[in-house]
Chains A and B, each alone.
Chain A
């Protein structure tokens, strides 16, 4: 499928997925840092009441290690996973800092996730 959608019971989250269902931590972090706090809060507030159902749904898919399991998921589950990983990404912005980035923090663009460049 060239244009993956979310699983049927989560189609209401589709507008959020268009923005936030991003495949890498760097992209999700960048989306967080370039969003306003109002946008982040809206994303969080919409996702939060659905997270129990989302995690229950994703809990059906068991994974193996290695290799990284994400590619083995059905496309719609993968899109839901990416969306949920973005929820994990913005949690500290909402619950800890009340602003998009870490207050006075080190530049995350210089704090590089090795996993994205490591050979597997």
Chain B
């Protein structure tokens, strides 16, 4: 495939740069000239919190899962530093990496069972984990000093020289924060960051876009633990003491409040939230007991009124100056059909309670073939599509794509094997533009979604522009080139279906499953769609099309399979099906199929 050199990638706006410059200068000026030793200590602690929040943004902000174990990971890092430093007198060069590794290892171990859980199951499982950690620390007194904790944690020593408390320590901690912020920006500013938007908005959309959901969630959880460990270690060095208070729920709640109030996905949000909520109690001393009350009220007000946090408000205020990047020229995508293979389904059976939804269904789809699937309502068509795409587990039967067995594979793995799926109600993430979505699917098919890819810059800059250029070509093929910048939420149903088709093509599939693609289309649009499907099949891609609309399907499909009450009652060429008495009886109540 040949490509014109893509135009330069969009630059960050002047507003962003100005914000960072002002914030950094203010902090440095304050630290160097105005702050007393006490104030420097508060500033250093705010840095530890900023690092904690930067980590929490991965799992809570980007992956959208309420983890309540972040406080425990923080405490674990603090205790690792304290125990290794006070009992074994290890230096910073050894304790700091180990303080990161300890919570990282724990998160990797618990991720396997815990990350599978959704919604409140995940929240409460991580809360349970945090409670176990707290109980262990309080009761392993020999190691941890029990409820009293450990004192005399040594300071930081770099290259053999001790870093004195005060300004030098604050500088070291904030340097680590800067490194953490840079890494976080690097990992999330490209298409991988966009992938997380889809992941947290709609699981079905994420799976239809081919995103490696499990891996994305796993990496976010691990990173949040690693950042928390580093933050805990730095706080232990700053305070010189570690007690079981570090593991209490109040630390977790403070972290959550900072993340929500500052903004849960932006780096500026982590810094603003941590600084504000560390300093607020200092400023609100006159409120005394009511300061924490104000904290709760602020958290509630922010989650209701400004879900994007202070950074979101600030970002919108500055967005006016953002330079529009413009669309890249379309880059032609060659649909190779290279993953096309014969889909073979044998004896597929699925029961829902007492209802036999699928009854020993046999089906073969060859590469380049359009197979129409028809049948009365409730005959099992959508169930069959759900079973083939891995959304529903069959009770019996075999499925193979080429030589590969599909039964028992997750929807994610089946999608990656080359089976793309469209839905009756299109599963599109509302906030993304059609171009972003299709580019994301393209990057996903190329294996460029994930933290390793984003660390290496494979999902941003020029490479992102290339995915966008290909996406524009695919959108053009389904007649949507003019809607590239339109948010998915504003698309009427007919266009939404076409976006789904473009997204499926982006995944370079071997088999495409469509559920009533002609619904709601006018006659001319139906003819266009039919031609598009024929053209796709011409590239060697197989299509399974569920449809009620015979005037559309009969001329489009090569072969038709008829389901009734979960059983295949007929299969053959459209002309044969039209004359089949069993089909006419079951499907149309003894009327003739329309020509």
A and B from one assembly?
A: no
